């Protein structure tokens, strides 16, 4: 005749089994939470940014290129350098460059050039034609153009004024009418009184004109 197990002992074994199972489950959950917490989620994004190929890398390159093109275009000007320089021609310069930079881009002055014939410190403007004379060569200045190439606001005609940046035929005519009505222009800032000319235009004209 078999001995029947003690119910109390059986229940104790069941409780211990269930408790062990719960401990295993809780330990597994704790490990999963820990692994999730310490995993560097940013690592995947970093790898995609640095080592991706195909469409993603192409998109990044296109964006960078567009920024570079926009930045360079906004600061690019063109100056036609003629006269006694090593390589006369049309040169691409940057806003803020001076006559000395334009001449350097053209290979520098020749032995016959007259350094005193141009103002090397003057700022150049987009669309300007810069002529370097030879020693003893008279610089034939157009009407309303000073010897250093700047536009004389008091003697320039509409055609000469129209060569200035931000100045078209209509505003050129207003400048002439203003000086005829108010007398000689004593300062570049007087142009602020001319309809259609604002502070940005005056600052752009400041290095290019003489009152």
98 located within any domain: yes
Mean pLDDT of all residues in 62-84:
59
* 3-state DSSP of 54-88: CHHHHHHHHHHHHHHHHHHHHCEEEEEEEECECCC
Are residues 196 and 179 part of one domain?
yes
Q: Which residues contact 78 (CB under 8 A, 6 or more apart)?
A: 90, 91, 92, 93, 126, 127
Q: Which residues contact 15 (CB under 8 A, 6 or more apart)?
A: none
Residue 42 vs residues 8, 36, 67: alpha-carbon distances, Å:
55, 13, 26
What confidence tier does 210 reach under pLDDT thresholds 50, 70, 90? confident
Give domain status of residue 19, yes or no. Answer: no
Of the three residues 116, 140, 164, the one that is the final residue of a domain is 140
* Concatenated DSSP letters of 142-154: PTTB-TTS-EETT
- Cα-trace Rg, the chain: 39
Residue 109 belongs to a domain: yes
Domain boundary among 140, 174, 189: 140
- Paired sense of beta strands 89-94 and 76-83, if any: antiparallel
pLDDT of residue 49: 29
**Residues with Cβ < 8 Å from 201, sequence gap 6 or more?**
166, 167, 191
Q: Looking at the structure, tell me whether residues 204 and 158 fall in a common domain.
A: yes
Q: Are residues 196 and 172 in the same domain?
A: yes
Longest dimension (CA), the chain: 139
pLDDT tens, residue by residue, 182-193: 999 999 999 999
Determine the distance from the C-alpha atom of residue 165 to the mean position of all C-alpha atoms in its chain, rounded to a whole number: 19
**For residues 50 and 190, what is the distance between their CA atoms, to the nearest angstrom?**
55
Beta-carbon contacts of 164 under 8 Å, excluding residues fewer than 6 positions away, are 125, 151, 172, 205, 208, 209
Q: Is residue 185 part of a domain?
A: yes
Q: What is the pLDDT of residue 166?
A: 86
User: Does residue 145 share a domain with residue 208?
Assistant: yes
For 207, which DSSP code?
G
Is residue 25, in this structure, part of any structural domain at all?
no
For 125, phi and psi rounded to 5 degrees? Answer: -125, 160
Which of the two residues, 179 and 146, has the higher pLDDT score? 179
**CATH label of the domain that carries residue 199:** 1.10.150.280
Convert the pLDDT of each residue in 110-157 to its tens digit: 999 998 888 888 888 787 888 898 988 765 556 687 777 789 999 899
Q: Which domain holds residue 105?
A: 75-140
Model confidence pLDDT, tens digit, residues 6-62: 555 556 565 666 556 666 666 665 555 444 444 444 332 222 223 333 333 333 333
Supply 93's token pair: 């310069």
Kindly tell me the sign of the dihedral angle through the C-alpha atoms of 152, 156, 158, 162.
Answer: negative
């Amino acid at each position: 005749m078999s001995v029947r197990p003690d119910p109390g002992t059986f229940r104790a074994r069941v409780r211990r089994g269930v408790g062990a199972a719960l401990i295993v489950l809780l330990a597994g959950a704790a490990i999963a939470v820990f692994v999730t917490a310490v995993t560097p989620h940013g690592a995947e994004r970093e790898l995609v940014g640095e080592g991706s190929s195909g469409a993603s890398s192409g998109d990044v390159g296109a964006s960078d290129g567009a920024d570079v093109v926009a930045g360079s275009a906004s600061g690019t000007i063109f100056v036609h350098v003629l006269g006694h320089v090593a390589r006369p021609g049309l040169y691409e310069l940057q806003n803020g460059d001076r006559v000395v930079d334009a001449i350097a881009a053209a290979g520098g002055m020749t032995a016959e050039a007259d350094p005193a014939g141009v103002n090397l410190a003057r700022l150049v403007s987009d669309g300007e034609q810069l002529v370097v004379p030879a020693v003893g060569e008279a610089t034939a200045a157009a009407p309303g153009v000073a010897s250093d190439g700047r536009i004389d606001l008091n003697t320039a005609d509409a055609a000469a004024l129209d060569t200035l940046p931000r100045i078209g035929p209509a505003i050129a005519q207003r400048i002439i009418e203003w000086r005829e009505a108010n007398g000689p222009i004593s300062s570049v800032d007087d142009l602020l009184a001319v309809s259609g000319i604002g502070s940005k235009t005056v600052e752009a004209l400041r290095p290019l004109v003489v009152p």
